Chain A
Amino acid sequence: DVVLTQTPVAQPVTLGDQASISCRSSQSLVHSNGNTYLEWYLQKPGQSPQLLIYKVSNRFSGVPDRFIGSGSGSDFTLKISRVEPEDLGVYYCFQATHDPTFGSGTKLEIK
């Protein structure tokens, strides 16, 4: 099983500041076809998860450019600049390179 370790577990943030979430994989997420299938989802309170980022750094349609995904190999980061109230919730990374697995989540909360 590929284990995705997210840090921190909770990220207190001041509105308008930047937040950063790390996702580290127990194995390289580079597929044999050269792609890296690492995604980020946000689950707002009481809602279904929503796709933010796919293939490390591609923003899904309608996702603001304040959300930036980066990384390679087994080390990935989601940065959220100028945090707004609607950004609060739990962020999950997810890998589809191997048998798919989710990270354990990072709660973005108001400081």
Chain B
Amino acid sequence: QVTLKESGPGILQPSQTLSLTCTFSGFSLSTYGMGVGWIRQPSGKGLEWLANIWWDDDKYYNPSLKNRLTISKDTSNNQAFLKITNVDTADTATYYCARIYYSGDGFDYWGQGVMVTVSS
């Protein structure tokens, strides 16, 4: 069955780089049409799409955050990654990774989310 699990540092300081890992099973990011996306949610607030990466290494970023985001993947180890540079308190949120199988068919499986706090 398809599972995804996010991991991250828990807490970090302003101006640092946030590194997140999504470890998944039940599918391969080398399969045609497969993708993984990152979405975040500040506590008590709505969802914000951050970035997608596809089986062919195509990458798409939220334009409002693009210069701070880097998405990547390690197909052989079934992992996807997201880096956010120069974090501040506004980046405090729960971060989710989710699978997409064919663009436009939705984020069909989600991880449980990982909480990240940016605080000095």
1/0 contact trace for B32-46 toward A, CB 8 Å? Answer: 000000010000001
Closest A residue to B96 by CB, please name it.
A48
Known: A48-B112, A51-B107. A92 touches B96 (CB 8 A): no
Give, as a whole number of angstroms, the nearest-CB distance from A63 to chain B: 11
Give, as a whole number of angstroms, the nearest-CB distance from A34 to chain B: 11
Main secondary structure of the interface of A (DSSP, over half): loop
Give, as a whole number of angstroms, the nearest-CB distance from A45 to chain B: 12
The total number of A-B Cβ pairs within 8 Å is 57
B103 contact set on A, CB distance < 8 A: 37, 96
State the CA gap A103–B48 with chains docked (Å).
9
Closest A residue to B4 by CB, please name it.
A48
Known: A1-B63, A48-B96, A54-B106. A92 touches B111 (CB 8 A): no
State the CA gap A48–B113 with chains docked (Å).
7
> Which A residues lie at the B interface, using CB under 8 A?
1, 31, 35, 37, 39, 41, 43, 48-51, 53-55, 60-61, 92, 94, 96, 99-105
